[in-house]
Amino acid sequence: MKHPTLIQRLWLLLLLLVFLAFSGTLLANLMNARSYLEQQLTAQNANTANSLALMVSQQRAEPVMAETLISATFDQGHYSLIRWQSSTGQVRVERQRSTQEPGWLPRLLELRPQPGRAMINAGWMQAGDILVETDPGVAYASLQKSLLQTLMWLLLAGLVTGAIGSRSILRLRSDLNRVTEQAQAISNHRFFQIPEPPVPELAQVVQAMNRMVAHLQSYLAGLTREVDTLRRERLTDRTTGVANREALEQTYSSLQAQEGGASGWLLLLRAASLTELNQRLGGQRADALLKHLAQLLEQASQRGRHGLAARLRGADFALLCPEIDQTQAESLARQLAGELALCQQMGLSDQENVAHMGLTPFAPGESLPALLGRANHALTQAEAQGVNRWQLDSSNAVPVSSEHDWRELIETACRQHELQLRWYPVIGRDRQVRWQEGMLYRPPQGSEPAINALRLLSHSLRLNLTHLPDLAALHCALQAHDVGPVRAINLSRAEIRRALKALSVIPSLAAAAAWRSPSAIHRRASC
């Protein structure tokens, strides 16, 4: 069963109060009018009876004069009965008329006036008594008229009271609706305050709601600022102030989620020898260099729409440049290379070689790891070309994207002896072969292309895995018997001693050096 609302209850209460008030007023008025009319009729009966008895007594109870007086009084007034009755009970004079009373009113409110009686004297003798009864029809007519007037006034008063009450109830309903709208707005994170109504109880509720709105608005504003701060901290590199890898991933995903995807270019920048620079100059100057590189990329990102500069980790930075072509990308790389050449003059670095860059395009629907892998491939080529160089992505890129993949590839290739040496003759001025020099590489593996020595050793150096290719190259050189008496390989300067100890080949190496030329093995630094 549906319960009535507050407004409905107020309407019912208002109607009930108006009904009870008006009904009580009408009933009280009718009862007072009935009592008043009964008293007036009773008094009129008594007065008329006394007057007739006095006049008849003055005429010595003369029958003819008494009849005349009684008839005159009866005709002039509204009487239903006037009777002169002797002391013996004989009716001497009687005048009577039938009454026409309203049908419903006597049944609803009957008048019962007392008849008037008076004694008639003839000298010292009693001549009988007079009985007078007034006609109640006139009283009923007057009572009906008064009842109708009272009903009209009460109806008018009811309409006025209803109008005033309706206005108050509607205003109260409007105030309650504003409170409801305010509460619903709060649930939708919309905050506004409403004016206080004139009703004290409802005003207290509105005051409490307004205080809650102000408190929630202040609290949510602070919470929003805190969330924004945490989001910025989560998506921002603390050292440089630019975006981090997570921000780059979100931005790239948002661009590719657009209708038709997005295309453009990605620039990958890596500071050269950051670890050695940090050891030579200290952490503050190294951080200053990183901040400067981040500032250069940040300025470059503002040249196009949706550009983003981000620090991936360590010495690696990325510049996402959607909606640019190859000409614009190459121009951007050349400009950044020119800015890098000024870092030494600015005191940010003690060496001319500051950083290298790799450029690669991206198409709609392409994954970010694959994109970074191609950019890293181009960057590796740029590192082998010289100081502050940049390189576009070549078409024969190896499908290896992350450092984890490169680490696993190098470790697996060395563990499973997949690496080989490709021998090249070194010819002197006399056009004679001086020695055979071996270049380490990984042959094609299924659908994967071959990996040359430059890419293999550059990634090994960056991942601190140079000892594994060195050991593999030394192992392959010692096992090669059909190449020639003099062989040369490239070994890293930092790992040659550890490689020799790990393989426990020092006696074998000494024996080989005894029957071959001392120049059989050359040390060449790969870094």
Q: Which two tokens stand for residue 70?
A: 């009684």
Sign of CA dihedral 432, 434, 435, 439: negative
Using CA atoms, how far apart are residues 280 and 447, in angstroms rounded to an integer? 44
How confident is the model over 204-235, as pLDDT tens digits? 888 888 888 888 888 888 888 888 888 888 88
Lowest mean pLDDT among 171-185, 327-341, 366-380: 171-185
pLDDT at 508 over 60: no
> Which CATH number do you get for residue 485?
3.20.20.450
CB atoms within 10 A of CB 41: 23
Q: Are 153 and 195 in the same domain?
A: no
Higher pLDDT: 1 or 59? It is: 59
pLDDT of residue 2: 64
Q: Tens digits of per-residue pLDDT, 249-270?
A: 999 999 888 877 788 899 999 9
384 and 419 co-located in one domain: no
Q: Are 526 and 490 in contact (CB under 8 A)?
A: yes
Kindly calculate the radius of gyration of the chain based on its CA atoms and give it in whole angstroms: 60
- On whether both 379 and 416 belong to a single domain, the answer is no
Look at residue 493 in the predicted model and tell me its pLDDT: 63
Mark whether 377 and 441 lie in a shared domain: no
Least confident of 1-10, 17-26, 351-360, 438-447: 1-10
Contact predicate 232/320, CB 8 Å? no
Residue 2 lies in a domain: no
pLDDT digits over 94-103, tens only?
Answer: 888 876 555 6
Q: Which residue has the higher pLDDT, 133 or 105?
A: 133
What are the pLDDT digits (tens) for 462-493? 777 888 888 888 888 888 777 777 778 877 76
Domain final residue, candidates 207, 234, 261: 234
Tell me: do 45 and 151 sit in the same domain.
yes
Angstrom distance (rounded) from CA 136 to CA 151: 22
Domain containing residue 478: 405-520
pLDDT over 60 at 90, yes or no: yes
CATH number of the domain encompassing residue 375: 3.30.70.270
- In this structure, the number of other CB atoms found within 10 A of the CB of residue 508 comes to 12
**What is the per-residue pLDDT for 243?**
92
Q: Is residue 492 part of a domain?
A: yes
Domain contains 198: yes
Q: What angle do CA 320, 324, 329 make, to 5 degrees?
A: 75
Q: For residue 509, what pLDDT band results from cuts at 50, 70 and 90?
A: very low
Q: Domain total for the chain?
A: 4
What phi and psi, each to the nearest 5 degrees, are found at residue 320? Answer: -90, 120
Kindly report, residue by residue over 404-430, the tens digit of the pLDDT: 777 888 888 888 888 888 887 888 888
| Residue 423 shares a structural domain with residue 466 | yes
In a domain, 9, yes or no: no
Give the separation between CA 254 and CA 246, rounded to whole angstroms.
12
- 160-170: per-residue pLDDT in tens? 877 887 787 78
Distance CA 371, CA 365 (A): 11
Q: Which two tokens stand for residue 388?
A: 């502050």
Which of 437, 438, 448, 440 minimizes the C-alpha distance to 414?
440
**Is the same domain home to 472 and 430?**
yes
Question: If you average pLDDT over residues 418-447, what whole number do you get?
Answer: 80
Residue 173 included in any domain: no
Q: Look at residue 6 and tell me if it is in a domain.
A: no
Q: Which residue, of 173, 202, 234, is where some domain finishes?
A: 234
- Residues 248 and 111 occupy one common structural domain: no
Euclidean distance between CA atoms 6 and 263, whole angstroms: 62
- Give mean pLDDT, residues 394-400: 49
Listed residues 160, 181, 201: the one ending a domain:
160
Tokens representing 353? 């070689």
* Same structural domain, 229 and 252: no
Q: Indicate whether 281 pLDDT > 70.
A: yes
Q: Is residue 125 part of a domain?
A: yes
Residue 25 pLDDT grade (very low, low, confident, very high; cuts 50, 70, 90): confident
Is 121 in contact with 66 (CB distance < 8 Å)? no
Same domain flag for 210 and 255: no
Residue 329 located in a structural domain: yes
- 254 and 377 in a single domain? The answer is yes
Q: 252 and 377: one domain?
A: yes
